[in-house]
Amino acid sequence: MEFARRLLTFRTERKLTQLALAEQVGVHVSQLRRYEAGTSQPTLDVLRKLTVALRVSADALLFGQGERGPAEALRFQFEAASRLDAQELEVVKSVLEGILLQHEARKLIQAGGTPNQRTGRAGEQ
Q: What is the pLDDT of residues 69-125, one digit of tens each?
A: 677 778 788 888 889 999 999 999 999 899 999 999 998 898 886 555 545 544 444
Residue 118's identity, in one-letter code, is R
pLDDT digits (tens, 9 = 90+) for 8-49: 999 999 999 999 999 999 999 999 999 999 999 999 999 999
CATH of domain 3-62: 1.10.260.40
pLDDT mean over 52-64: 91
SS (HEC) of the chain = CCHHHHHHHHHHHCCCCHHHHHHHHCCCHHHHHHHHHCCCCCCHHHHHHHHHHHCCCHHHHHCCCCCCCCCHHHHHHHHHHCCCCHHHHHHHHHHHHHHHHHHHHHHHHHHCCCHHHHHCCCCCC
pTM exceeding the 0.95 threshold for the entire prediction:
no
Looking at residue 40, its pLDDT comes to 95
